[in-house]
Amino acid sequence: MARSNSAIVNWSQYLAVRAVTGFIQCFDVNQNLETAGLVGSIFGTLTPKRCARAADNIRASFPDWPEDRIQRTAFESIRHMFQLFMVESMISPRLISPSSWSKYVRVGDVSGLLDLLLRGEPAIFVTGHCGNWELLGCVLASIGYPLVALARPLDNSLINDWLMGIREARGMTIVTKWGATPILQDTLRSGGRLGFIADQNAGDQGLFVPFFGRFASAYKSIGLLAMRYNVPIVAGAAKRMGDRFQYELHFADLIRPQDWADQPDPLFYITARYTRAIETMVRNAPDQYLWIHRRWKSRPKFIRDGHAMPSRLVHKIEQLPWMTQAERDWIVGNAEREVAAAKAGDDQRKS
């Protein structure tokens, strides 16, 4: 949403959103999902540039896919985005409660997570922009395990305050990025749980780790908090089942302190591993990922400068225990192509 300091603009946007939300709540939630999907389909048809960006990201992430599948997934991801923002983000806190959550959410194998919760251990929960990324926190809060979640405030303070109230209705606590550090530290120190959407682009100064064969910039704070307070990281997502308000919770990984204790670069290991878990979540439902998100906008310095991949970075990739030789070759090959493109662009500008 565009930044505006105009009270008239803020109020008009706020009243419009409230009116639409009030209207759709007059209908069955599954009818609303169908309607939102239709709106998303129309939007995708009328905005070919956004579909093209999504398709470009999918094409690079699934190089073996045929073009018709790439285009279909790009279109479906935009449709899913509208279902999420128009319907699910508004009604999840209303429908998910201690007595009703099991009606809408199916839980897979959670033995490791259940043990962690029953012991009352502090933990960091991470998810990505896949499925319904707020539902995990909503469900945990409903069953008595609330999260403190980090979120970027919206530019319209009226809409922001209203949405924060919705998100906190079931016991979650939402903090903004600015001034959040003491709250996050106190939460872990006191045995609480944190929640992060952990696939945002962290800029040129972020930690670059593999994500679908290309380096993506990730925030260092998650790994640093886990290391400082010696707490596990739980990676999971909520996948929508069809066009109904029905979900399945998937827990892709549980990263415990002993897993990184003997790693030569613990921060790189942690960040690469939870990023790999997010990739696993996306592969489980690629049509429910926010592919228009500019996840690979920032590039590593060696690529920006047109240099070969540093040998120390190659060595770090080789030390990741889950990485196969084919995956290593994919990452190195993509980096080499990006470096060649950067050099060609440099030469063209000089000429």
Asked whether residue 3 carries a pLDDT value surpassing 60, the answer given is no
* Interval 58-106: pLDDT, tens: 999 999 999 999 999 999 999 999 999 888 887 887 788 888 999 999 9
Question: Which residues, at least 6 apart from 166, have a Cβ–Cβ distance to it below 8 Å?
Answer: 89, 90, 93
Question: Which residues, at least 6 apart from 173, have a Cβ–Cβ distance to it below 8 Å?
Answer: 146, 147, 148, 149
- Residues β-bridged to residue 250: 237
- At 1 the pLDDT is 43
pLDDT-derived band at 135 (thresholds 50, 70, 90) equals confident
Stated pTM of the model: 0.91
Tokens of 186: 């106190």
Asked if 43 and 82 count as a contact pair (C-beta separation under 8 A), the reply is: yes
- At 242 the pLDDT is 83
- At 220 the pLDDT is 95
* Interval 209-223: pLDDT, tens: 999 999 999 999 999
- At 168 the pLDDT is 73
Distance, CA of 238 to CA of 220 (rounded, Å): 24
Q: What is the mean pLDDT of the chain?
A: 89
* Interval 122-132: pLDDT, tens: 999 999 999 99
pLDDT-derived band at 107 (thresholds 50, 70, 90) equals confident
Strand residue runs (E) in the chain = 105-107, 123-127, 148-151, 173-176, 193-197, 207-211, 214-218, 233-240, 247-255
* Interval 199-212: pLDDT, tens: 999 999 999 999 99
pLDDT-derived band at 348 (thresholds 50, 70, 90) equals low
Distance, CA of 150 to CA of 177 (rounded, Å): 6
Question: Which residues, at least 6 apart from 146, have a Cβ–Cβ distance to it below 8 Å?
Answer: 137, 140, 170, 171, 172, 173, 193
- Percent residues over pLDDT 70 in the chain: 95
Asked if 194 and 184 count as a contact pair (C-beta separation under 8 A), the reply is: yes
Asked whether residue 2 carries a pLDDT value surpassing 50, the answer given is no
- Percent residues over pLDDT 90 in the chain: 57
| Length of the chain measured in residues | 351
